Amino acid sequence: MLHAQHNCENDQTDVLIIGSGAAGLALALRLAPHIQITVLSKAQLDAGSTSWAQGGIAAALSGAEDIEQHIQDTISAGVDLPDPAVVRTVTESGPEQIAWLESFQMPFSRSGEPDHSLHLTQEGGHSQRRVAHAADHTGRSLMETLMAAVKARSNIRILEHHIAVDLITARRLGATQDCCLGAYVLDVKSDCVRTITSRFTALASGGAAKAYLFTTNPDGTTGDGIAMGWRAGCRVANMEFIQFHPTCLFEPRAKSFLISEAVRGEGGVLLRPDGTRFMPEHHEKAELAPRDIVARAIDAEIKRLGIDCVYLDISFKGKAFIEKHFPMIHKRCLEFGYDMTREPLPVVPAAHYTCGGLMVDLDGQTDIPQLFAIGETAHTGLHGANRLASNSLLECLVFAQRAAAKIEAQLERPQPAIPEAAFIPPWDESRVTDPDEAVVVTHNWDELRRSMWSYVGIVRTTKRLNRAQHRIDLLRREIQEYYSHFRISSDLIELRNLVEISDLIVRSALTRQESRGLHYIRDFPYTNPRARHFNTVLTPPPARPYQSAGEQVDKKALF
Ligand code: FAD
Ligand code: SIN
């Protein structure tokens, strides 16, 4: 049946922010109150990874020496690939970001000392205690803090359950000079597509770890922002560096619940089933080695011994200590029958963080004028081949502040008017029908994530990557075909993005012919010192133009 779908009301705004995690909300708050801002979340406001963050926010709070050490730790965890200028900018800004959050009453944990200073925890790859946190629910507290501040600002409009489908760009409208003009957005509850035009658009839509079967991330981390930016004409970099967190609770009912690295930071040790430690055999820093090394060591032990999981033990610290430092983890584990105050927890690695993303400069500017990317969506150059623990939230905050300053400076200059939505081709679904077989989406979703897990995981080979590429090519064609025939839904939008992301990950992994950080490939087991400045940059094909402004557009021909 042909379904002629109505378009819902169009919208205009000064700044459209696609994503409401730490990056998106911090950007909204950093922009001046006279600027009209619209923030989208494809689900509820706190649906992103930020809410799930545990360990904390890395910040060198004890002076210049600490900043130099934070720089060294970041570059060393990133295996020499991080951009030193970016690392310096971000680390130097750490204390200011923490102070900014405190100005909103962020409830950081405090030490018991008389000065009541911030309690700093320790995580892998950090040479000293440097991670500010709110017990083990830093992300939840951070989101509550930012959401309260955003809701108090009348210039910030929040649209929950609105999923951006694609960016609207001048080039796609036939102009020779490109810029971003807004986005097509599916209002999930009303099931209609809005055209939102804006002077500036910021992609703050998080990472893409959902490309893998087992992940620590919430459901929506399907790389939408990276895929939208790529389709619109932005380059991506270093997509092969997918970080696997070493310690997820091995419990199917828990859907990959993270056991924070801070548990190891506070003394936790990793054990084989027979109770022996193994990390000292793998790295001099043992359990506090950088994450890629710990995840690979666990993977090696699991494969060598033919076991399902290893164990993380902190029970020897006692009940009072554990309840004070890890109240949320302790409670959640108890729900599944594990008491970490009395016994080791079963743990396995899972996909956790996307180090690569849309290429941006030091202000979060992408390749397309008026389009910014911040947070996990962006590749800033901070993380290199492996992100240092708790550097992500810091990066979200720093780049939100810098992007806000850049947008404000540009807004002060004479601006072309925001194009009336009426001049943008409306989203046209007149030639598509209601989906007839939803099972195609669920089946492809599952097959894609399973292939990524099996062939593009912690240890890679060229043969396995080629196998993955072959499957992705087939799935891609099938998903494109499905997309061009049927009305869009959140699931279909996400699946289309996920297959694009998987393709980018595999192509990047095949391009890097060395092992470095998170990319370990058996055919090239060594790190090539000459590749220390080599970023895997992929350039998209030219974005297809719209037929012409104002004309009805065939979605199939467009995307
Ligand atoms: P997110 O917080 O993921 O937000 C993405 C937003 O984009 C959401 O609002 C989502 O609804 C929206 N969105 C996505 N696609 C669309 C679309 N198409 N249309 C509209 N909206 C869209 N990092 C640290 O530094 N310290 C930690 O302790 C830490 N712990 C972590 C623990 C866990 C379990 C996880 C999963 C991650 C952790 N990280 C940590 C990483 C860190 O939390 C994330 O990298 C960071 O929160 C990403 O923030 P973000 O704003 O970029 O994206
Ligand atoms: C954790 O608490 O282990 C996660 C920290 C991070 O991903 O930075």
The answer to whether the CB of 370 is under 6 A from ligand 1 is no
Ligand nearest to the CA of 352: 1
Residue 150 lies in a domain: no
Residue 235 lies in a domain: no
pLDDT value for 486: 87
pLDDT value for 329: 98
The answer to whether the CB of 216 is under 6 A from ligand 1 is yes
> What is the CATH classification number for the domain harbouring 265?
3.90.700.10
The answer to whether the CB of 19 is under 6 A from ligand 1 is yes
Count of CA atoms in the C-beta half-sphere (13 A) of 204: 38
Active site residue ranges: 291
In ligand 1, the atom with minimum distance to the C-alpha of 165 is 18
pLDDT value for 546: 65
Residue 348 Cα to ligand 2 midpoint, Å, equals 15
To the nearest 10°, report the CA torsion of 221, 222, 225, 231: 170
In the DSSP assignment, the letter for residue 108 is -
Residue 207 Cα to ligand 1 midpoint, Å, equals 7
Dihedrals phi, psi of 201, to nearest 5 degrees: -125, 140
Range of the domain at 319: 242-352
Structural domain count, the chain? 1
Considering only CA atoms, which residue is closest to atom 14 of ligand 1? 205
Please answer whether residues 20 and 45 qualify as being in contact, where contact means their C-beta atoms are separated by less than 8 angstroms: yes
pLDDT value for 284: 96
Residue 197 lies in a domain: no
489: Cβ–Cβ under 8 A, 6 or more apart, which residues?
Answer: 186, 435, 441
Residue 252 lies in a domain: yes
The answer to whether the CB of 262 is under 6 A from ligand 2 is yes
The answer to whether the CB of 164 is under 6 A from ligand 1 is yes
Q: Which helix (H) or strand (E) holds 379?
A: strand 378-379
CA 280, 281, 283, 284 torsion-angle sign? positive
pLDDT value for 559: 42
> In 340-417, which ranges are continuous DSSP H helix?
391-412
Residue 337 lies in a domain: yes
The answer to whether the CB of 290 is under 6 A from ligand 2 is no
Residue 309 lies in a domain: yes
Report how far residue 394's alpha carbon sits from residue 101's, in angstroms, rounded to the nearest whole number: 11
Residue 341 lies in a domain: yes
Side chain identity, residue 149: A
Please answer whether residues 130 and 58 qualify as being in contact, where contact means their C-beta atoms are separated by less than 8 angstroms: yes
Residue 495 lies in a domain: no
In ligand 2, the atom with minimum distance to the C-alpha of 393 is 8
pLDDT of the chain along its 559 residues, tens only?
344 445 678 899 999 999 999 999 999 999 999 999 999 999 999 999 999 999 999 999 998 899 999 999 999 999 999 999 999 999 999 999 999 999 999 999 998 777 789 999 999 999 999 999 999 999 999 999 999 999 999 999 999 999 999 999 998 888 888 999 999 999 999 999 999 999 999 999 999 999 999 999 999 999 999 999 999 999 999 999 999 999 999 998 988 899 999 999 999 999 999 999 999 999 999 999 999 999 999 999 999 999 999 999 999 999 999 999 999 999 999 999 999 999 999 999 999 999 999 999 999 999 999 999 999 999 999 999 999 999 999 999 999 999 999 999 999 887 766 666 667 888 888 778 888 778 889 999 999 999 999 999 999 999 999 999 999 999 999 999 999 888 899 999 999 999 999 999 999 999 999 999 999 999 999 999 999 999 999 999 987 776 544 444 445 444 4
Report how far residue 166's alpha carbon sits from residue 159's, in angstroms, rounded to the nearest whole number: 16
121, β-bridge pairs: 131
Residue 51 Cα to ligand 2 midpoint, Å, equals 12
Residue 322 Cα to ligand 2 midpoint, Å, equals 17
pLDDT value for 422: 60
Report how far residue 162's alpha carbon sits from residue 226's, in angstroms, rounded to the nearest whole number: 17
Residue 265 Cα to ligand 2 midpoint, Å, equals 11
Task: Using DSSP, state whether 352 is helix, strand or coil.
Answer: strand
pTM of the prediction?
0.96
